Amino acid sequence: MSVKKIQSKQQIFIGADHAGFPLKETLRLMLEKDGYDVEDISPVYTPHDDYPLSAKRVAKALQKKNGALGLLVCGTGHGMEMAANRFKGIRAFVARAEQDAILARQHNHANVIVFGGWVTKPALAKKMLCDWLKAKPSHAMRHLRRIKQLDT
């Protein structure tokens, strides 16, 4: 499966805890192969690490780099999602189905996709990541109004 770049050198910050590390590695390799500018904030497997720290580092990187995207992976995805969404301007969601990925990007302008390493098969994660990266944020007034409400 190939993402096929949607933007030249799109920057993607990625991070995982011990439970998400294997899936993160699979997705990292795919993104790098497709030419994305990937910055891995958790490049080494660390047993018993804490998911909030990876989520915080990705969220802070996104706050500093306009237009960048994020990818997080923990055991279920829920911990990373909750931790990332504590930061202003971060709109993280757990992807469970292809339609989740598309609609979260289009309607909610999601800038962080989150997977559960224990519950998401690599082939499905690759497909959802591709769908999310290809989807374009909607500029419909109702979506823009809601994004503004989220970011205030």
At residue 39, the pLDDT reads 98
pLDDT band, very low/low/confident/very high, at 76 (cuts 50, 70, 90):
very high
The answer as to whether 71 is a domain residue is yes
The answer as to whether 1 is a domain residue is no
Rounded Cα–Cα distance for residues 131 and 43 (Å) = 25
pLDDT band, very low/low/confident/very high, at 1 (cuts 50, 70, 90):
low
Q: Are 114 and 100 in contact (CB under 8 A)?
A: no
Catalytic residue ranges: 74, 107
Does the global pTM surpass 0.85? yes
The answer as to whether 17 is a domain residue is yes
The string of DSSP letters for 22-51 reads HHHHHHHHHHHHTT-EEEES--S--TT--H
Whether the predicted pLDDT of 5 surpasses 90: no
The answer as to whether 4 is a domain residue is no
Q: Tell me the CATH number at 146.
A: 3.40.1400.10
Provide the domain limits for residue 31: 11-150
Q: Are 36 and 10 in contact (CB under 8 A)?
A: yes
Residue type, 86: R
- pLDDT per position as a tens digit, 14-71: 999 999 999 999 999 999 999 999 999 999 999 999 999 999 999 999 999 999 999 9
The answer as to whether 64 is a domain residue is yes
The answer as to whether 2 is a domain residue is no
φ, ψ (nearest 5 deg) of residue 65: -120, 95
Strands 92-94 and 112-116: parallel
The answer as to whether 50 is a domain residue is yes
Rounded Cα–Cα distance for residues 21 and 10 (Å) = 22
**Number of domains observed in the structure of the chain:** 1
The string of DSSP letters for 2-16 reads ----SSTT-EEEEEE
Whether the predicted pLDDT of 8 surpasses 80: no
- pLDDT per position as a tens digit, 107-143: 999 999 999 999 999 999 999 999 999 999 999 999 9
Q: Are 112 and 92 in contact (CB under 8 A)?
A: yes
The answer as to whether 3 is a domain residue is no
